[in-house]
Amino acid sequence: MLGASQYEIDRLVFQGEVWRSMTDGLFEKLGVKSGWKCLDVGAGIGTVALPLAERVGNEGEVTAVEAIPLYAATLREELARKNIENVRVFEGDLRRFKVPRGAYDLIFARWVFSFLPDVERCLRHLVPGLKPGGALAIEDYHHLGCAYYPNRPSFDAVIEGARRWYGKTGGNYRVAGELPAIYYKLGLKDVEVVPHLRVGRPDSALWKWGELFFLGHLQTMIRERVVTLDEAKRFKRDLQAIKKIRGAMFVVPVIFDVIGRR
């Protein structure tokens, strides 16, 4: 849905920095440690796979599954450049990845399942890869809550447009809310949801992250007919204008960590 481009690579790098503490917190909570074998599904350019590889050390291993060749190649280059030997890259769709049975301590995915049309089928494919007691941990959107203040009609128009865009490409911007029931259906236990709700001022990294997403993908949203040209123009103008207002803020879409154990 977001396409493969240098812009998107740069956005993923920045996103990796902004959200590193959230994902590190999840790994701390799960007790990820040296020797763990992990699967990072939809790994992008490796913004999670690389710190995860450091955490599991040379005794452990991370397999990064990534469908977009440009991203997989970027990750491979980074691994070679940094001499990292405990990350394997599978280039291709996750549904084509031959999942070894009972192999992983952790199967992880961040912002991948909201793009997928067949979430339950994908999870049915992945879950047998967990060791008994192994964790499935997904970080994704329960997108409700996202807003800019002081509010303007153009903000809601573009945010709603982005949500329709997820739907149009077969995804679900509220996927994280659906996951717990699917986890139980697939036989996982100890299912837990940890919500993240953040707000950022115009000078914050969170604001910039939101801007990179919405402004960077406005043209595509117009092309996809989920936003009109007029709404896009107003959005740009209004966003620029409210930045100067003291008290302006971006409410980040709600993210859930959804954890379950085999």
**Contacting residues toward ligand SAM, per CB under 6 A:** 12, 15-16, 42-44, 47-48, 65-68, 71, 93-94, 110-112, 115-116
Which residue, 97 or 207, is less far from ligand SAM as judged by CB? 97
Q: How far is the CB of 68 from ligand SAM (least distance, A)?
A: 4
Which residue, 50 or 249, is less far from ligand SAM as judged by CB? 50
DSSP assignment of the chain, as one string?
-----HHHHHHHHHHHHHTHHHHHHHHHHHT--TT-EEEEET-TTTTTHHHHHHHHTTTSEEEEEES-HHHHHHHHHHHHHTT--SEEEEES-GGGS-PPTT-EEEEEEES-GGG-S-HHHHHHHHGGGEEEEEEEEEEEEE-TT-EEES--HHHHHHHHHHHHHHHHTT--TTHHHHHHHHHHHTT-EEEEEEEE--EE-TTSHHHHHHHHHHHHTHHHHHHTTSS-HHHHHHHHHHHHHHTTSTT-EEEPPEEEEEEEE-
Q: How far is the CB of 171 from ligand SAM (least distance, A)?
A: 9
Q: How far is the CB of 6 from ligand SAM (least distance, A)?
A: 14
Q: How far is the CB of 119 from ligand SAM (least distance, A)?
A: 11
Which residue, 14 or 149, is less far from ligand SAM as judged by CB? 14
Which residue, 122 or 130, is less far from ligand SAM as judged by CB? 122
Which residue, 66 or 257, is less far from ligand SAM as judged by CB? 66
Q: How far is the CB of 33 from ligand SAM (least distance, A)?
A: 21
